[in-house]
Chain A
């Protein structure tokens, strides 16, 4: 399949990139690796007039910390994150998630963390060739009024399958979005629109510049299921952050449970998370209960649109959450 025609722009600085974005707005797309964008363009799912490549913007490739936060430049290759001691010790869920993206070659040479967070939602009724999508009414995401994944749905139910975003939401990450002359910071949790057509609450002139992860001393873990061990999106995944109490070491102070690949965005599951407050790190039964609660909460959102069966994916929410909790608790206990 061929790429539609476009103009390729390769700014040398962040300011130049923002200037270009301000000029081209919705006619432009950011190219930060291309593993998601190029595939969608080949399928004719989007036809940007302009691609603004971040290839030359080494200023957006870094991992650092200031005692309070880890800061990751949006164009940092996944391989750097996987290899980072800082991430492995302070935000292990993210390292685990990035390791699962694509394959090693993609992590080294193409995939970036910003691109991973901003990969578009997927649905096997939508991510198809224009031939496949012809001969039937277009779906919501394709400009129509139908959802092939859920009857009578009034909006798009495409699924966010980003490994990185799920882990980052568990880690309580924030995004810094830059635009010409300004910047804003938003909690990753508040970054989603709850509509699969345009899942991200960002403007066309904005650029994801930085991801920040608070340093809390909490332990995290990420688990996912897929058919293959590489070149595969998760059909269900879970990221958790587990903070032991400062005073009573055996006790859990705070937990964040996030489930991915089940809805339009990663789901922070408040009820399941809060059920573990004050529980012992070794309380396996409490983990099981929380995992079941997570499954019940997440199941309502999911539709059959990314492979496996819906019932299986729902059931596996509990498994993934439980495994991630157990792993994080073990790490905290060490």
Chain B
């Protein structure tokens, strides 16, 4: 069915070779002439008033070139939305978590910079601190931000349908609460930033980012310089997972130090700083109350979720909403009421993370399994009765186009042998499934679309310009594949200029699953436009109509008589000698409801497409130690169209590792009075390759009509169904529905013991 030459093919990524050979350059590798080392002074107190900062000794230290404090910032505040500006880049009045920025230094070397940090004297008055959501709400002491009594920061309320009425007529209702502590991204690359001011006042910045344009605008605001004077440059990035989306105070401090010292400055985070002073996943308490009819169809659901939001709001309104949105996208509910709260606490700042609330997602599926058991329905049937179908509207009024949710369930069930195993496995051996959906983008106003430019060079090769950033997931390769396919060139003929705010147009960034859908589509359109120009020239030469031509393998030829052909290079040269340039532009703006807003109006078309997935996991639990051995995982996703199955399978596997193996079994932060006790790779248990199960990947292609080649989000969101699948499998193995994640051996063992001590089950 596929006429594609390059799309859909298993092609090694264009950036792989440089990365595996250690030749790719990341921010920390950059060296600019005269570059200084920047370091950040952070608050060692969780909540403290800053009474005085004395930098005189640090400034007097030989080798120190600049010291900055809040006084140098004019008090500028950052927030993702105009209504959430709560964070100064350098704190002046209060420190609100252990790690909050209070000063910065730039010196000739790291040793001097570190010495200077120690010489900065900060006088604090310690304030009572709160570290948990419930504690924060109940607190009678000084709120963390004065405008937010009880530390309630964000409240998202969504209600559709007759919730109370439907609960009354429900056949069966149950309410369960699920919890999980904070988790972390552990990107392979700790955060780093290099900043430099030019002779003409332009600011150049290199740093890992989820979208360069999301960095340039806040920096231009903060420094009160025009947008074009902030140039975010492209650099290799070692992972984001939602944790690199926004501007980071380090970006601002680095630029401020560069400005003050008039030298390039580099700040490299330690692993500890990357853990505590970038972003973390929220700790959450989620209560799902669900009412179903006799067949197990959800009539009403009321979900209340408390997110421990940390010291500053960050993406708060989005973070509070997305767990709910993932739920309403994957499961039909006749009516639903959602109350999501983000609370300020004196802990690190929180951000979006791949699973979008592991206790929310895994809790939802756990409860479905509980209801199914009560009704005597198996987990597969329970899901088939409740999952999303194409052509439906979500509760918040988004039309769902392509949707092969059912197919992902069927295929995963067959491949994993679920039906032969479920309920038939020996004791402490279990199998479980999870299903998920995710939105492909969300309304982003002025930054919702992407635009691409393509120019042909006289050698017949093409340069493609796009604002899309590659965080490690393979976006660069995706753009190259699309351009090569459309232009009829080979991947090596495409030269990508991307993720640079000086040379590329605005783009939504890579944190809302739209890089392929929007950015890739912009490149596709630009390439089509460019190809059209080539065809018009070639048509004259070949004396045929332009619409009879196709381009492939560096040739343009007549579709029905392929021997009638001309090389693309020749066409370009002919065009240039005839005073015509060969270039084009193309852009893509998804048609979403621009009136939709996270808090004030959470209704309307969210995005143009949704992806759907199923993960089935089989485990063995050691009943004496509670340790889990994962035997295999089957991941199946409706990705619209797999542009490169090789890359996609890597994404699936990363999802299993992050959402399942790590997220559900081993990863969590431990604290002592707001101090993170396991910020390093040794102490925070990210799974190792040798601990991963066998993974079977199944790609389902529903061909999304609005996506490029039918593509939509692919691979990222398997992390969600993986979390659910892992939780369900463990629960199935031990015969206890678990409600506290991750499922560490101590919890599993306690559940097994508790079950043993229970008087013989009355219910089943």
Could you list which residues of chain A lie within 8 angstroms of chain B, going by C-beta atoms?
1-2, 39, 124-125, 128-129, 131-132, 134-136, 148, 225, 227-232, 307-309, 311-312, 315-316, 319
Contact of A225 with B625 in the complex, beta carbons under 8 Å: yes
A228 to B683 alpha-carbon distance, docked (Å)? 11
Binds A, one of B415-423, B589-597, B685-693: B685-693
Which residue on B lies nearest to A1, using beta carbons? B270
Q: Chain B residues with Cβ under 8 A from A309's Cβ?
A: 746
Contact of A229 with B672 in the complex, beta carbons under 8 Å: no
Which residue on B lies nearest to A310, using beta carbons? B746
Contact of A131 with B111 in the complex, beta carbons under 8 Å: no
Could you list which residues of chain B lie within 8 angstroms of chain A, going by C-beta atoms?
42-45, 98, 110-111, 114, 270, 272, 624-627, 666, 670, 672-673, 675-679, 681-683, 685, 687-688, 690-691, 744-746, 749
Contact of B270 with A129 in the complex, beta carbons under 8 Å: yes
Min distance, Cβ B589 to any Cβ of chain A, angstroms: 45
Do A231 and B688 form a contact, CB below 8 Å, given A134-B44, A312-B746? yes
Contact of A124 with B670 in the complex, beta carbons under 8 Å: yes
A1 to B746 alpha-carbon distance, docked (Å)? 33
Which residue on A lies nearest to B681, using beta carbons? A231
A125 to B672 alpha-carbon distance, docked (Å)? 8
A316 to B624 alpha-carbon distance, docked (Å)? 8
Q: Chain A residues with Cβ under 8 A from B43's Cβ?
A: 135
Which residue on A lies nearest to B689, using beta carbons? A230
Min distance, Cβ A68 to any Cβ of chain B, angstroms: 38
Contact of B746 with A311 in the complex, beta carbons under 8 Å: yes
Which of B272, B690, B746 has the most chain A CB within a 10 Å cutoff? B746
Could you say which of A2, A124, A308 contacts B744, with CB atoms under 8 Å apart? A308
Contact of A2 with B749 in the complex, beta carbons under 8 Å: no
Q: Chain B residues with Cβ under 8 A from A132's Cβ?
A: 272, 675-676, 679
Additional pairs, 9, CB under 8 Å, beyond known A125-B677, A225-B625, A231-B682: A131-B42, A134-B44, A135-B98, A225-B627, A227-B685, A228-B666, A307-B678, A311-B746, A319-B624
Could you say which of B625, B666, B688 contacts A316, with CB atoms under 8 Å apart? B625
Min distance, Cβ A111 to any Cβ of chain B, angstroms: 14
Q: Chain B residues with Cβ under 8 A from A307's Cβ?
A: 670, 678, 683
Which of B110, B678, B690 has the most chain A CB within a 10 Å cutoff? B690
Min distance, Cβ A237 to any Cβ of chain B, angstroms: 13
Contact of A229 with B678 in the complex, beta carbons under 8 Å: no
A134 to B42 alpha-carbon distance, docked (Å)? 10
Q: Chain A residues with Cβ under 8 A from B111's Cβ?
A: 2
Could you say which of A124, A135, A136, A148 contacts B683, with CB atoms under 8 Å apart? A124
Contact of A135 with B272 in the complex, beta carbons under 8 Å: no
Q: List 17 A-B contacts (CB under 8 A).
A: A2-B111, A124-B683, A128-B677, A129-B272, A131-B42, A135-B43, A135-B98, A136-B673, A225-B625, A227-B744, A228-B685, A229-B690, A231-B682, A232-B685, A308-B745, A309-B746, A319-B625
Min distance, Cβ B321 to any Cβ of chain A, angstroms: 33
A134 to B118 alpha-carbon distance, docked (Å)? 11
Q: Chain B residues with Cβ under 8 A from A230's Cβ?
A: 688, 690
Q: Chain B residues with Cβ under 8 A from A134's Cβ?
A: 44
Q: Chain B residues with Cβ under 8 A from A148's Cβ?
A: 672
Q: Chain B residues with Cβ under 8 A from A124's Cβ?
A: 670, 677-678, 683
Q: Chain B residues with Cβ under 8 A from A231's Cβ?
A: 681-682, 688
A229 to B688 alpha-carbon distance, docked (Å)? 8
Which residue on A lies nearest to B625, using beta carbons? A319
Which residue on B lies nearest to A134, using beta carbons? B44
Min distance, Cβ A259 to any Cβ of chain B, angstroms: 15
Q: Chain B residues with Cβ under 8 A from A39's Cβ?
A: 682
Min distance, Cβ A124 to any Cβ of chain B, angstroms: 4
Could you say which of A1, A125, A131, A228 contacts B691, with CB atoms under 8 Å apart? A228
A228 to B662 alpha-carbon distance, docked (Å)? 10
A13 to B691 alpha-carbon distance, docked (Å)? 42
Min distance, Cβ B118 to any Cβ of chain A, angstroms: 9
Contact of B690 with A131 in the complex, beta carbons under 8 Å: no
Contact of A135 with B44 in the complex, beta carbons under 8 Å: yes
Min distance, Cβ A47 to any Cβ of chain B, angstroms: 13
Min distance, Cβ A233 to any Cβ of chain B, angstroms: 8
Q: Chain A residues with Cβ under 8 A from B677's Cβ?
A: 124-125, 128
Q: Chain B residues with Cβ under 8 A from A2's Cβ?
A: 110-111, 114
A128 to B42 alpha-carbon distance, docked (Å)? 15
A134 to B121 alpha-carbon distance, docked (Å)? 13
Q: Chain B residues with Cβ under 8 A from A227's Cβ?
A: 666, 685, 744
A229 to B685 alpha-carbon distance, docked (Å)? 11
Min distance, Cβ A53 to any Cβ of chain B, angstroms: 23
Contact of A312 with B688 in the complex, beta carbons under 8 Å: no
Q: Chain A residues with Cβ under 8 A from B681's Cβ?
A: 231
Min distance, Cβ A312 to any Cβ of chain B, angstroms: 3
Which residue on A lies nearest to B270, using beta carbons? A1
Do A131 and B44 form a contact, CB below 8 Å, given A225-B625, A307-B683, A319-B624? yes
A316 to B110 alpha-carbon distance, docked (Å)? 45
Q: Chain A residues with Cβ under 8 A from B675's Cβ?
A: 132, 136
Do A131 and B685 form a contact, CB below 8 Å, given A124-B670, A307-B678, A319-B625? no
Min distance, Cβ B197 to any Cβ of chain A, angstroms: 27
Min distance, Cβ B48 to any Cβ of chain A, angstroms: 9
Which residue on B lies nearest to A39, using beta carbons? B682
Which residue on A lies nearest to B666, using beta carbons? A227
Contact of B672 with A135 in the complex, beta carbons under 8 Å: no
Q: Chain B residues with Cβ under 8 A from A229's Cβ?
A: 688, 690-691
A1 to B43 alpha-carbon distance, docked (Å)? 19
Q: Chain A residues with Cβ under 8 A from B98's Cβ?
A: 135
Q: Chain A residues with Cβ under 8 A from B626's Cβ?
A: 312
A2 to B746 alpha-carbon distance, docked (Å)? 36
A54 to B365 alpha-carbon distance, docked (Å)? 56
A312 to B270 alpha-carbon distance, docked (Å)? 32
Q: Chain A residues with Cβ under 8 A from B672's Cβ?
A: 125, 148
Min distance, Cβ A20 to any Cβ of chain B, angstroms: 26
A315 to B626 alpha-carbon distance, docked (Å)? 11
Could you say which of A125, A232, A315 contacts B749, with CB atoms under 8 Å apart? A315
Closest 6 CB pairs of A and B: A135-B44, A312-B746, A134-B44, A227-B685, A124-B677, A309-B746
Which residue on A lies nearest to B675, using beta carbons? A132
Min distance, Cβ B734 to any Cβ of chain A, angstroms: 15
A229 to B679 alpha-carbon distance, docked (Å)? 20
A85 to B679 alpha-carbon distance, docked (Å)? 40
Q: Chain A residues with Cβ under 8 A from B666's Cβ?
A: 227-228
A128 to B681 alpha-carbon distance, docked (Å)? 12
Contact of B625 with A131 in the complex, beta carbons under 8 Å: no
Q: Chain A residues with Cβ under 8 A from B676's Cβ?
A: 132
Which residue on B lies nearest to A44, using beta carbons? B114
Q: Chain A residues with Cβ under 8 A from B110's Cβ?
A: 2
A93 to B683 alpha-carbon distance, docked (Å)? 26
Q: Chain B residues with Cβ under 8 A from A232's Cβ?
A: 682, 685
A311 to B272 alpha-carbon distance, docked (Å)? 28
A2 to B111 alpha-carbon distance, docked (Å)? 8
Do A308 and B746 form a contact, CB below 8 Å, given A129-B270, A134-B44, A231-B688? yes
A136 to B672 alpha-carbon distance, docked (Å)? 11
Min distance, Cβ A284 to any Cβ of chain B, angstroms: 14
Do A312 and B691 form a contact, CB below 8 Å, given A1-B270, A132-B675, A319-B624? no
Contact of A135 with B45 in the complex, beta carbons under 8 Å: yes
Min distance, Cβ A271 to any Cβ of chain B, angstroms: 23
Contact of A131 with B749 in the complex, beta carbons under 8 Å: no
Which residue on A lies nearest to B622, using beta carbons? A319
